Structure 1
Amino acid sequence: MATYQLVKGRKTPWRALVRVVGFPAKTRSFATKTQAKAWAKPLELRLQSQKRKRSSNYTLPLIP
């Protein structure tokens, strides 16, 4: 999930934070919220697709 924070008193006031279960959080600062969204959304989608690929490699044993 991507979140956006406005941090006052900084040269690049918008901070994007991307958190997906199973991966370390990624952050980056931007001059505008639009730039932050443009970076965060593709990253979030890529991490989620990697998560699905990793989870599809596991199979559950059949229970008699």
Structure 2
Amino acid sequence: MTIVRTGPADIDADATVRHYDQLSERARRVVADAANGSEPSVRAPDLSPGDVVRFTDYYVVR
């Protein structure tokens, strides 16, 4: 899976949107790495394709 930045207007109405602080420690680490551009490819058991995470911006898991 990969995490990419997205705009609020591009988020599906039925998407699961979670705040960064709701994630496990591992998921927070991979979202932060993706946000700073160092690791867009992720493996975190609590993230699924289509999930959206609100961090510094919105990020969608693909």
Classify the TM-score, shorter chain: under 0.3
**RCO comparison, higher one (Cα < 8 Å, 6+):** 2
**TM-score (structure 2 length as normaliser):** 0.25
Q: Report which of the two has the higher share of helix.
A: 1
Larger Rg: 1
